[in-house]
Amino acid sequence: VQLQASGGGLVQAGGSLRLSCAASGRILRIHDMGWYRSAPGEQRELVASLTTDGSTKYGESVRGRFTISRDNAKNTVCLQMNGLKPEDTAVYYCNANIRTHWGRDVTLYWGQGTQVTVSS
């Protein structure tokens, strides 16, 4: 199983970016999906997560500006980021809890990360 993230880049403060993450490989079922970020010198933090029943959770600093969504048919999760601020600059990682075989435990997979840089 692989998670491939894309959509990062350089944007001015107040601008928008849309991140996408596609899961591929042997996938029986994808459970929760989410996005985390890691800035230099800081711990990785939750940006947003989305369960299979549509429940969402957002980090306090992004609530109201970012929106997470998923396309189950395409095994993708997206993060629409509006009103970007310089403090949003970080490497963004997607993750997903995936079951690959019946009778096996769900495994947490991570994407490779995509850089988001917001200039002031």
The closest alpha carbon to 90, from 79, 75, 98, 99, belongs to: 79
The residue among 71 and 102 whose pLDDT is bigger is: 71
> Burial letters for 94-107: b for 16+ Cβ neighbours within 10 Å, e otherwise?
bbbbbeeeeeeeee
The closest alpha carbon to 4, from 75, 55, 71, belongs to: 75
pLDDT score recorded for residue 106 = 93
Q: pLDDT at residue 104 above 90? A: no
Percentage of the chain beyond pLDDT 90 is 94
Percentage of the chain beyond pLDDT 70 is 100
How many CB atoms are located within 10 Å of the residue 39 CB?
14
- Average pLDDT for residues 50-65, to the nearest whole number? 96
Backbone angles phi, psi at 80, to 5 degrees: -90, 120
pLDDT score recorded for residue 102 = 86
